[in-house]
Amino acid sequence: MKIRQRQITLGIASLALCWTALIGAAEQNARDALETLRSDLKANRTAMIAQELQLSQQESNEFWPIYRAYRSEVEKTTDNIVKLILQYADEYPNVSDEKAKEMLQEYLKTEGQLLKIKEKYFKSLGKVLPATKVFRFAQLDNRYDLGIRVGMATSIPILGSTHAEPASK
């Protein structure tokens, strides 16, 4: 069990390093590299889920179609996060208050959509898998997402505090 956890952790850490390299690339190369990375992540995630869930044949037959639909919806939604990252990269370090407000609203909207997608599909998975396997899947999926987000977060510079403070009331 500990060996598997280490393998997952190492895999996620390597993904974080890929993000760091990606952000350092030139803009067009970054866009191309981002698509390549997303494709690689998709394949790695599927393999890791298959290995870690250890589904029976019947469970597998019912799980994978739901999983593919789930990932399709998640990927469409996370396209918005990718767009935000690329917009931020284009604007940085001169992000206006208006643009920051717009990007924050889009980010919050996207996070809300992701939560709704998870609720919908975890409920569907609960109809075909025992709750323990659904919860294990949720943990694995979350761990993978967290690794990717850590990689992104460490690669994207935080907006400086050189902007004017809002007027006090």
**Per-residue pLDDT band at 52 (split at 50, 70, 90):** very high
Kindly give the residue spans of alpha helices, DSSP state H, lying in the chain: 2-24, 27-53, 57-91, 97-126, 131-155
- Tens of pLDDT along 89-147? 888 888 899 999 999 999 999 999 999 999 999 999 999 999 999 999 999 999 888 87
Of the two residues 117 and 148, the one the predictor is more confident about is 117
Residue 65 has pLDDT above 60, yes or no: yes
The domain limits of the chain are 2-155
Contacts of 108 (CB under 8 A, 6+ apart): none
One-letter amino acid of 16: A
Q: Taking residues 52-62, what's their average pLDDT?
A: 97
- Tens of pLDDT along 4-44? 555 555 555 555 555 445 545 545 565 666 667 667 777 78
- Which pTM value belongs to this model? 0.75
Q: Assess contact for 52 and 4: CB atoms under 8 A.
A: yes
